[in-house]
Chains A and B, each alone.
Chain A
Amino acid sequence: MTTAVDTGTSRREAPYEGPLLDVRDLHVEFVTRDGVAKAVNGVSYSVAAGETLAVLGESGSGKSVTAQAIMGILDMPPARIPRGEIRFRGEDMLGMDKERRRRIRGQKIAMIFQDALSSLNPVLTVGFQLGEMFRAHHKSSRKEAKEKAVELMERVRIPAAKDRVNDYPHQFSGGMRQRIMIAMALALEPDLIIADEPTTALDVTVQAQVMDLLAELQAEFNMGLILITHDLGVVADVADKIAVMYAGRIVETAPVHELYARPAHPYTRGLLDSIPRLDQKGQELYAIKGLPPNLLRIPPGCAFNPRCPRAQAVCRQEVPELFPVTEDDGTELAGRGSACFFWKETLHDR
């Protein structure tokens, strides 16, 4: 059974062309005492090898839940996936058996978590935890695993890796811990890495270092990377394309620089305007008014309409689909989409 599964993977691996990961119309709900919280409402995105997709959104926009659904680590119940499709190399992830899925986790898709201190087991040494990847997936011996752990720590540039391999997580600084998390995700050279706010818990200076390291390693291994963040600054340098999420939906997709230059959704617009700028010194900082919607009671129509400066009657009645964004003369802008009835106006707004 084991060998059958393994050959199955390798046979499929080489000839498969197309996106590494393809998420289609994914819905995730949480059944709570107060009702059903619709955390993800029809998210679609895809990532190719070597590509970086940034998923941007506020807390509660469903970006992390989408990632957890892809990894298959949602607690079900209370979570459930009523609709949608997740394909990894063309293979349906939601339908496959648990054991097969467990093998994909870590080996093919790995995840980096936000807070490295709480994501590392406090009672085990980092060397043990790194080595565990090889012991669990490759059945390596203890000694081999330890050697590989040192190798990994060197790869993410932890100084004196050999001496530090037997240290515990709390003996490392925040940046070093996040490097260890990255090392752990990289251990089995996965095809896809999902990084869930990898730099949120770090100092700004360390953030840049960690992001650079991540980008560099991604290029080296030609991995796909999904970068989940709420920080527009982190994304700019490393991402190829961006998907902006709001209330469990993707409201805008665009190549990274186009999104910054010409947003086509009022929400993206608001996000960009609320970044403090040097030339605005002394002026009041723009803030999107109101609060993100309660996921138990998402407003009818466009979920953003109560906060939107552009909202019209139609926004309260109809849910906008993700319209392709074009130039005025009709030339299509590759990879751009906006879930706003007034994307054209928003695009010109400036």
Chain B
Amino acid sequence: MPDIHDESSFERHPKPGVDHLDYAGEQGMAVEQETLVEPDPEKREEARSLWGDAWRDLRRRPIFLISAVLILLLIVMAIFPGAFTDADPRKADLVNDYLKRPDWTDFFGAGWFGYDGQGRSIYARVVYGARASITVGIFVTAIVTLLGGLCGMVAGYFGGPVDALLSRIIDIFFGIPLLLGALVLLNAFSTRTVWTVVVALGVLGWTQIARVMRGAVLTVKQADYVMAGRALGAGTGRLMFRHILPNAVAPVIVVATIALGGYIATEATLSFLGIGLQDPTISWGIDISSAQKVIRTAPYVLFFPAAALSITVLAFIMLGDAVRDALDPKLR
């Protein structure tokens, strides 16, 4: 990775030779030191880290910008749904609003996307449904990254019997398909909230990250700077978290971002099947499920929550792709 880093920074920032030469100059240090012109601090390019470089790269990728804006919008929607709609997503008026068609003139109003089979505003439900999806996505990813990351780090760093034991545990969990495992696990709960789903998916999903982390740590552990750190007296904790982690975390971030979209889709699938979230909670999956009964007469009841789900999943996968390209061009 470091050499690529080097190369790319060269390609992207052909620097004016003068600035560079001043610093790289080797000969006659003592003499040159006095004559050395202090470069203008403004002109001196700022020190760039791997992350700084990746950020620079990301900022000019349209895919990243589009997905970032979408995700930001979704997160705001999840936190403040009231800012997007005045309508109450749970208010049902079967007399007036039963399967009412979308009304394009009712811009951002309750009837914008029409009404569902119980006379509830579809637009309001799409807005309020973001919370369940985003919560599940983000928290499952957090659990998975922490659990899997730690497990992979310990397995990769210590190796030997520790690695053998942890790797077998990873293998066992890896053998359980995410969806099937979640179905079985969630079936055991009679009331299921967002957090039940989060825990179930987290417990089942961490193995992927653990494997990626373990692989990355195994590679980084061989690096000379880890040995150098050890030779200069760095302890285990310092080596693991200061020296290895920052160099091993890039692929984990990439996998986690892409997986986030997958968890949202899994939550929707579970809810669609009736094993995920339950009715008082508003979820796109539940709405898609109830919409299938009226799909021929009122396809828009299905269309809007399904579109919201697709856009959300797509946004996270696009973000993951962009982050991967920026962090690790080799994987492209």
List A residues at the B interface (Cβ < 8 Å): 71, 73, 77, 102-107, 110-111, 113, 115, 117-125, 132-133, 136-137, 157, 159-160, 163-164, 166-168, 170-173, 175-176, 181, 184-185, 205-206, 209
Residues in B with CB closer than 8 Å to A102 are: 233, 235
A160 close to B38 (CB less than 8 A): yes
The answer to the question of B238 belonging to the interface, with a C-beta cut-off of 8 Å to chain A, is yes
Asked if B228 and A111 sit within 8 Å, CB to CB, the answer is yes
The reply to whether B48 and A168 form a contact with Cβ atoms under 8 Å apart is: yes
16 more A-B residue pairs beyond the given contacts A123-B246, A124-B246, with a C-beta to C-beta distance below 8 A: A103-B233, A105-B231, A106-B234, A110-B231, A110-B232, A113-B224, A122-B247, A160-B22, A160-B39, A163-B41, A168-B48, A168-B49, A171-B23, A175-B26, A176-B26, A205-B26
For B2, B9, B30, B51, the residue with the greatest tally of chain A CB atoms inside 10 Å of its CB is B2
- B223, A118: Cβ atoms closer than 8 Å: yes
A110 to B6, CA, bound (A): 28
Interface residues of B in 232-247 (CB under 8 A from A): 232-235, 238, 242-243, 246-247
Closest 6 CB pairs of A and B: A106-B233, A105-B233, A122-B2, A106-B232, A118-B224, A173-B24
Whether B95 sits at the interface, judged by CB under 8 Å, is: no
In the assembly, what is the distance between CA of A263 and CA of B223, in Å? 38
The answer to whether B49 and A167 have CB atoms under 8 Å apart is no
Q: How far is the CA of A209 from the CA of B27 in the complex (A)?
A: 8
Q: A119 contacts B23, CB within 8 Å?
A: no
Which among A71, A113, A123, A163 is the interface contact of B44 at CB below 8 angstroms?
A: A163
Interface majority SS (helix, strand, loop, mixed), chain B: helix
A-B contacts counted at CB < 8 A amount to 119
Interface centre among B2, B36, B231, B238 (most CB of A within 10 A): B231
Tell me whether A73 and B231 are in contact (CB under 8 A).
yes
- Contact between B233 and A123, CB atoms less than 8 A apart: no
Which A residues touch B36, using CB under 8 A?
159-160
Contact partners of A185 in chain B: CB under 8 A: 232
Contact with A along B3-32 (1 / 0, CB 8 A): 001100100000000000011111101101
Q: Say whether B47 faces chain A, with CB atoms less than 8 Å apart.
A: yes
Residues on A with beta carbons closer than 8 Å to the beta carbon of B48: 168, 171
Instruction: Decide: B29 and A157 in contact? CB cutoff 8 A.
Output: yes
CA distance A137 to B41 in the complex (A): 33
In the complex, how many angstroms separate the beta carbon of A133 from the nearest chain B beta carbon? 6
- The residues of A that contact B27 with a CB separation of less than 8 Å are 205
Q: Does B61 contact A (CB under 8 A)?
A: no
| Total contacting residues, chain B, CB less than 8 A | 43
B184 at the interface (CB under 8 A from A): no
Contact of B5 with A137 in the complex, beta carbons under 8 Å: no
Q: Which residues of A contact B104 (CB under 8 A)?
A: none
Can you list 22 A-B pairs, Cβ within 8 angstroms, ordered by A?
A102-B233, A104-B233, A105-B230, A105-B233, A113-B228, A118-B224, A119-B227, A121-B247, A122-B50, A122-B247, A124-B242, A133-B233, A136-B233, A157-B30, A159-B25, A170-B5, A171-B23, A171-B47, A171-B48, A181-B228, A184-B232, A209-B29
Give the distance to chain A from B222, nearest Cβ to Cβ, in Å. Answer: 10
Cα A115 to Cα B223 with chains together (Å) = 11
**Which residues of chain A come closer than 8 Å to B233, judged between CB atoms?**
102-107, 133, 136-137
A167 touches B232 (CB 8 A): no
CA distance A167 to B9 in the complex (A): 14
Q: Which residues of A contact B32 (CB under 8 A)?
A: 159
Could you tell me the distance between the alpha carbons of A59 and B33 in the complex, rounded to whole angstroms?
A: 38
B1 interface residue per 8 A CB criterion: yes
Q: Which residues of B contact A175 (CB under 8 A)?
A: 26
Chain A contacts for B247, CB-based, 8 A: 121-123
Could you tell me if A176 and B24 are in contact, using CB atoms closer than 8 angstroms? Answer: yes
A206 pairs with B26, CB closer than 8 A: yes
Min CB distance, B97 to chain A, in Å? 57
Whether a CB of chain A sits under 8 angstroms from the CB of B177 is no
Q: Is the CB of B2 within 8 A of A117?
A: yes
With a cutoff of 8 Å between Cβ atoms, the chain B residues found around residue A166 in the complex are 47
The complex places the Cα of A125 from the Cα of B27 at a distance, in Å, of 24
Residues 185-232 of B contacting A (Cβ, < 8 Å): 223-225, 227-232
